[in-house]
Structures are given as structure tokens and as C-alpha cells.
Amino acid sequence: MQHTVSPIGIVHSCFKEKFAIPRQPRLAPAARGVLELLPPFDQGEAVAGLEQVSHVWLLFLFHQALEDKPRLKVRPPRLGGNKSVGVFATRATHRPNGIGQSVVRLEAVEPGRLLLSGIDLLDGTPVLDIKPYVPYADSIAEAHNRMAGDAPEAIAVQWSDNALLQARNHALRLGEPLIELIEQCLGQDPRPAYQVPPPERIYGVKFWDVQVRWQYPQPDRIRVLEVVPDQAQ
């Protein structure tokens, strides 16, 4: 059976590239975005009642990880990137039909758009459906996952004086919790697990419209060097 699905909305997110997006929602509560609903769902009617809900499930397309040939096994970063397991045992982006799901905080409901936080979605992600989180059904006290039971432990994020000042100024300009976003996302240690970071190597990522650059003075410690306007703007 074949069935065509089409997006009901597009996410405008703080994350402009895949690198340094947390591996699951809610790991960075300061990660915010707007889900713009597409016609005919941009009418207030489509979201009437949703203001009674604190969190929603988003079903979306991993539009930057779509593949023609399905994989049966994947190497999840959570397992260090060197152990392969069945694709259905993981939340990997490379999967049949390319469908992702994230439970995110619903900050506000407006006609035609939802304001979201705690997201793990790339800018431009097409959303296929929205469903309200239902605590009695979706929260399972006795649930376990022996591969990914607890949230990964965050590493320390330190700031150069200059970077902190720059981040404060950009946070004010953007009206966004940029310092928290940087600390929460870099604290997840975005570099590939198998990569031992040479202390001189500079890493960078774009959040909103700024480039954040950092080094690893020690493998488990990040130092933010600068937060500057993205040149590619």
C-alpha cells in the first residue's frame, strides 16, 4: 500500500544546521521555534482547544536525512558510534519513511502558528501531524530502555569574558535565551563520540543568526570563544 503524506506545517527553529542539535527534545529547554501551519490548517479552527495542553507530539520528516535505500542496522551516537543495532531499536534519523517524533513544550497557540520550546528540530523541518500529549497514556512510570535509560550527563561549559558579553548582547537583540541555549546544547557535547578533540581545534555552529565557536581545553570541558554574527547572512 502506498499513501502520500503532505506537511501541515514548517518549523522555524533556532537550529540552522544538524550539528549540535540535542539528540532528543527537552534536553535544551531554551531551544525555541515556531511551527507555522500551512493552509488549510492556518485557520484558528484547526488548533481550537490546544491551549489546554502543555506539550504536543510532533510527527515530522527528517528532510535532511532522507535515503532511498533503507538501512536495517544503524550505529547510534549514544552507543559511541561503533556498535550497530537494528534500526527499530533506535531513534536514528536514517530510517524507513524518514519519520521523526518529538514531544515538545507548547508555549503559546496563535492562529496559524504554535510557539514551541525544548525542540530538537532543524530549521525548515516539515511537520506531518500534531497530537496533544496525554499524560495518563503517554507517561509510563515502569518503562525502561537499557540502551538509553537516562539523559546523557552534561559536560562543563565555560565562557571567555568576550564570548559571554557577545552572547548577552545577541540574546537581548534576539529576545531569546541564547546563553542558556548555548550552555544546554554544547553541554550535550556535540562532537562525534569517536573524535578525541585536539585542544587547539576550533568547533563552530550556527544558532539563530550567530556563529558560536568553542574549543575543548580538556576532552570533557568546553570553552566558548566567541559568539559573532554569521557571515553567511
**Binding region for ligand SAM (CB under 6 A):** 18, 21, 23-25, 62-65, 91, 93, 100-102, 120-122, 125
Instruction: Write down the least CB distance from residue 180 to ligand SAM, Å.
Output: 18
- Nearer residue to ligand SAM within complex by CB, 91 or 213: 91
Rounded CA-CA distance 227/207 in Å is 10
- Nearer residue to ligand SAM within complex by CB, 164 or 180: 180
Instruction: Find out whether 147 and 89 touch, Cβ atoms under 8 Å.
Output: yes
From the number of C-beta atoms within 10 Å of its C-beta (0-12, 13-18, 19+), residue 122 rates as buried
- Nearer residue to ligand SAM within complex by CB, 74 or 222: 74
Instruction: Write down the least CB distance from residue 26 to ligand SAM, Å.
Output: 9
Q: Is the peptide bond before 29 cis (omega within 30 degrees of 0)?
A: no
Q: Which residues contact 97 (CB under 8 A, 6 or more apart)?
A: none
What are the Cα distances from residue 161, in Å, to 144, 158, 184?
42, 10, 18
Instruction: Write down the least CB distance from residue 124 to ligand SAM, Å.
Output: 7
- Nearer residue to ligand SAM within complex by CB, 177 or 190: 190
Instruction: Write down the least CB distance from residue 161 to ligand SAM, Å.
Output: 30
